[in-house]
Amino acid sequence: MTTKTPILVTYWRNMEWFAFARGWDHVRLATELGITMNTLNRLRFGRARYIDPEMFDASCEVFGCQPNDLLLPQPEVERRYANQVV
């Protein structure tokens, strides 16, 4: 049994928040990031071992945020970006 790495869980939850705030589903999120659904599901279900730097950069570019924003606790992300999401 694998355990979820907290930073991966935080990254996934924040990515999901940014995507759903834009009305995107998981398929659209994968498409925008240029990753497969398999890769997205590994993140989603805690099976990923690391965050690919290219995917991390793509996430920041797609969501218009800074790298540390994807690693903040979710309430802080919601507070900072709730009024800026399009």
- 35: domain CATH number? 1.10.260.40
4 pLDDT more than 60: no
pLDDT averaged over the chain?
Answer: 85
Q: Does some domain include residue 1?
A: no
Q: Does some domain include residue 86?
A: no
Instruction: Give the count of domains, the chain.
Output: 1
**Residue pair 59/24 in contact by the 8 Å Cβ criterion:** no
Q: Give me the domain span that covers residue 23.
A: 6-81
Average pLDDT over every residue of 30-36: 95
Number of residues that this document lists for the chain: 86
5 pLDDT more than 70: no
Secondary structure percentages of the chain, helix, strand, coil, to 5 = 65, 0, 35
Closest CA to 29 of 12, 45, 46: 12
Q: Does some domain include residue 20?
A: yes
User: Which residues have CB under 8 Å from 17's CB, separation 6+?
Assistant: 74, 77, 78
